[in-house]
């Protein structure tokens, strides 16, 4: 068991550039994933105007047919990591 303190969570003041950067990132994902990605949305704390947040962009990708999406390998998108289901 570690006795090290947990890492600090850095919350930044709201950055008015977050929405524009998120729009660029979601457009990049739409282009890379093609029609399999029905919707690509910026979610999470950086998507809330005026709210302080961790400077991390959370993105949700929706598909029309989950079974079909899981059956096909999704292209790797450089610099992105998938979390969740």
Three-state secondary structure readout of 52-84 = CECCCCEEEEECCCHHHHHHCCCCCCCCCCCCC
Q: Is the pLDDT of residue 85 over 60?
A: no
The band of 3, judged by pLDDT with boundaries at 50, 70 and 90, is confident
pLDDT attached to residue 21: 95
pLDDT attached to residue 49: 96
Q: Which residue has the tokens 């998120």?
A: 22
Residue 22 dihedral angles phi and psi, to the nearest 5°: -65, -40
Distance between CA 50 and CA 68 in Å, rounded? Answer: 38
Distance of CA 58 to the CA centre of its chain: 3
Residue range 4-57, pLDDT digits in tens:
888 888 999 999 999 999 999 999 888 888 888 889 999 999 999 999 999 999
Q: Is the pLDDT of residue 65 over 70?
A: yes
pLDDT attached to residue 50: 97
pLDDT attached to residue 71: 81
Written as six digits, the tokens of 70 are: 């899981």
């Amino acid at each position: 068991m570690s006795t090290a303190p947990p890492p600090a969570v850095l919350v930044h003041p709201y950055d008015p550039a977050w929405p524009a950067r998120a729009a660029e990132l979601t457009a990049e994902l739409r282009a890379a994933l093609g029609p399999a990605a029905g919707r690509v949305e910026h979610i999470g704390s950086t998507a809330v105007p005026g709210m302080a947040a961790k400077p991390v962009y959370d993105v949700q990708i929706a598909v029309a047919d989950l079974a079909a999406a899981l059956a096909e390998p999704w292209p790797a998108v450089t610099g992105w990591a998938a979390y969740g289901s």
